[in-house]
Amino acid sequence: RVRAGLDDVFVVSEMTVDVADTPGGPLIRFNGTTEWALDSVDKADVLWLPREEQLRELLGADFSRLEAVPGGFVVVVASGGGEERHVDIDSECAYARALLALLEG
């Protein structure tokens, strides 16, 4: 996601980017975007959001399963001999909730 202004948030995916050190600070540059109005953005304004498979990989052996439920998804992880369930309307968000809980624990 890139925040272009205070209220502007958008997702840039499946693009090749590189980090350029400039006198004004690091920039994330988007390669092959000559047709875009956005050529680069300050590194401080960029947030990397991992994809579903990356989140699942980060959960590692704690990941038990993904379940579809009415209105969304549940990621089930092992926790202290039991299970924890992390629910969201989007599977990637459910994985993210599970990973955040694991990292906080």
Best CA proximity match to 49, nearest among 62, 58, 37:
58
Specify the DSSP class assigned to residue 93: H
- Residue 43 has a pLDDT of 77
* Residues 27-82 pLDDT 10s: 877 766 555 556 777 777 777 778 899 999 999 999 999 999 999 999 999 988 89
More confident residue, 23 or 14: 23
Judged by DSSP in three states, 55 sits in: helix
More confident residue, 40 or 25: 25
- Residue 20 has a pLDDT of 84
* Cβ 102 vs Cβ 62: under 8 Å: yes
Residues contacting 1, CB < 8 A, separation 6+ = 9, 10, 11, 12, 46, 47, 49
- Residue 105 has a pLDDT of 76
